[in-house]
Chain A
Amino acid sequence: MPEDLKHIADDYRWGFRDEVEPELALKGLTPETVRKISEAKGEPAWMTEFRLKALEAFFKMPMPKWGPDLSALEQKLDDFYYYVKPPSRGPAESWEEVPEEIKKTYERLGIPEAERKVLAGVGAQYDSEVVYHKIKEELEKKGVVFVSIEEGLKEYEELFKKYFAKIVPPTDNKFAALNSAVWSGGSFVYVPPGVEVEVPLQAYFRVNTAGFGQFERTLIIVDEGAKVHYIEGCTAPLYTTEALHTGVIEIYVHKNAHSRYTTIQNWPTNMYNLVTQRAIVEEGGYHMWLDGNLGSKVTMKYPSSILKGRGARSEVLSIAFAKTGQHLDTGAKLIHLAEDTSGQIVSKSISKGEGRSSYRGLVKVSKNANRARANVECDALLIDPESKTDTYPYMEINNETAQIGHEATVSRLADDQIFYLQTRGLPEDEAAALIVRGFIEPVAKELPLEFAVELNRLIELEMEGSVG
């Protein structure tokens, strides 16, 4: 292993690799690849057409001219595998039916155990396809749908068609176009009116093939007065070649519905993670994006909430931890289209070594959104002198009655704080880790327990020997 990857390998406990031979692997970005993906999935003609159009749009659109440097990625776009089908016969409903090698991976990641203990349903994706999908029976009886996106298209085509690509159209941005062309895997969730799913549904994304691009697509529809919490986690083995993850998440929150989407990405630090997440929130509805970015080489992700109905509310809470070799360009968008809508953005970023974290956010209030309220708080913590952070807060306020607040702070790990904690008996490393944990506490306290534990472990590991 090259020297620069050794440090990552030491810290990255999910970097193991499985010996799984794919059934089908498609390399290169061409209409041929797109047609083959569609064919392998047995899709209706309209979807094949949709994919091909999206590919055209992708080729026409320029690379983003802002944010992190993607030139190395651009050079490599033809070298990725765009579809890798694991040897499984579609989503199994029992772990026994999942191929042994793949099952072992999920066991090492603790997924079946978490499913038994704390989750209402689990979806597990391996490279391009969902290999396991299961929801608790009582929820199924209430009409809750939690299946792979492919099954969603097959079994619920009318509902699927009504929402798919309506919240994030292919032309939204270059990487949404790419995902629209080659999407594979992801979840389809429908919660019927008034049904409250009290424990979370979880999807787990695992990449195994080297030089692979994962393009999952998730569509969540929360009907009137319904409630759901969806969690997504991601890891991959560590390869010397770079990888690409480009997801599209669409969420429709109907009147008075309540939804929450939690992602913790812990990709290895040679992954490009370029994701589009957007929710539309109707009257009286509420949506929370809880976004944790720990891994990846480059992340560009700005979860957005379009507050479409009167009194709609949204919160976007995020944590980013950028280490040497990482540029995490994350943020949030709040689009207020109706009266009395309110939104809150809390962004906590930590930069360590030569890591760079950027906050990029937009608050937009339309002309007729009377009494809209939005509050933005972005705080950056720098661990080392060479650590970097920057802030790009955009505001477009077109209504005089709107109340908008913005607060940004940049702080350094302070020697006086460390000395103070040391005089109480905490060793220097632990003092530093405690300060970092305290810094992200307002967001971290919202995390599901197992993610909070994992995050603490990561902070402790990162702060070892980092001061003094």
Chain B
Amino acid sequence: MTNRLEIQDLWVSHDGQMILKGVTLTLPLGEVHALMGPNGAGKSTLGKVIAGDPTYQVEKGRILLDGEEITDLSPDERARKGLFLAFQYPVEVPGVQVANFLRLALKERLGQEPPITEFYARLKEAIELLDWDEAVLSRYLNEGFSGGEKKKNEILQLMVLRPRYAILDETDSGLDIDALKVVARGVNSMRGPAFSALVITHYQRLLNYIVPDVVHVMMNGRVVKTGGPELALELEKRGYDWLKEEVAGA
């Protein structure tokens, strides 16, 4: 069994404009990869397309999950196969309680009603680790949440639903340092041989707390460089311009 998420020569357009121009990337199960790059490089688009956002058009290429092609599956089918996207801008769903929603989602993922004691054990563990109050469980999904609370709620869902492949789309944006540490603690608690994450970020800051195994850099709709954690530090120090020149010169 090939336990990995594979993106093969992916070309994607939106409103007639090509945004991804041949992305190739492999995320083996058990690893955490960072996806960096300047604004407009196509990082968030890649995250959304992997999750199955219907507003984007896949023109060419394939997405494979554990060797199975998922390019044409609906977002919920992908989720049930173990994929998760932590949104950059989580959506408000009024009137739907967090706990109730998580129970429904977990039921879909497991294919059956989760045992109530196990479900609450998962909730409790996640809430404690995230320094949160159980009161959040009876609040309506993201409604009236601060920006930081919304990001924390994405990680709460990640921890309760326990996907095998998670994409974190700029989870660090808009977080202060304390919130950032809490979010990182949540993600790190998931790390292990049966969990992978693709951490999309603009800044190196988050990677001090979630140390990646591999760093990819995207520019202009393609992955232009792949390296170890030191690549992130170099980008932090030198910016993206030198890389642009390197790519242009190649």
Contact = CB atoms under 8 A, between A and B. Distances in A.
A72 to B, nearest CB: 37
B51 A424 contact: no
Interface string A425-468: 11110110011011111100000000000000000000000000
A434 B104 contact: yes
B16 interface: no
- Residue from B52, B79, B140 having most chain A Cβ neighbours under 10 A: B79
Contacts of A421: 93, 101, 105
Interface in B84-112: 84-85, 87, 90-96, 101, 104-106, 108-109
B5 to A, nearest CB: 15
A417 B52 CA distance: 14
Interface string B167-197: 0000000000000000000000000000000
Nearest to A416: B91
Given A415-B55, A419-B54, A438-B140, A426 B76 contact: yes
A426 B91 CA distance: 15
A94 interface: no
A437 B79 CA distance: 22
A423 B55 CA distance: 14
B108 A427 contact: yes
A434 B96 contact: yes
B161 interface: yes
Interface residues of A, number: 24
Interface in A397-436: 414-417, 419-428, 430-431, 434-435
B139 interface: no
A427 B76 contact: yes
A313 B206 CA distance: 54
Contacts of A427: 74, 76, 108
B93 A428 contact: no
A299 B51 CA distance: 44
B201 interface: no
Interface string A193-215: 00000000000000000000000
Contacts, number: 83
Contact of B76 (A422, A434, A435): A422
Contact of B79 (A414, A422, A438): A422
A interface: dominant SS? helix
B93 A419 contact: no
Contacts of B95: 437-442
Nearest to A434: B96
B162 to A, nearest CB: 12
Interface in B130-183: 140-141, 157, 161
A419 B87 CA distance: 11
A435 B141 CA distance: 11
Contact of A425 (B54, B76, B92): B76
Contacts of B96: 434-435, 437-438, 441
B53 interface: yes
A438 B74 contact: no
B93 A425 contact: no
B81 to A, nearest CB: 10
Q: Which 3 A-B pairs have the closest CB atoms?
A: A438-B95, A441-B95, A422-B75
27 contacts: A415-B54, A416-B91, A417-B93, A419-B53, A419-B75, A420-B90, A420-B93, A422-B76, A423-B51, A423-B78, A424-B76, A425-B76, A425-B80, A425-B109, A427-B76, A428-B76, A430-B104, A434-B93, A434-B96, A435-B93, A438-B93, A438-B96, A438-B141, A439-B94, A441-B95, A441-B96, A441-B140
Interface of A: 414-417, 419-428, 430-431, 434-435, 437-442
Given A423-B78, A425-B76, 16 more contacts: A414-B91, A417-B91, A421-B101, A422-B74, A423-B76, A423-B83, A423-B85, A424-B105, A425-B80, A427-B74, A427-B108, A428-B74, A434-B93, A438-B95, A438-B141, A440-B95
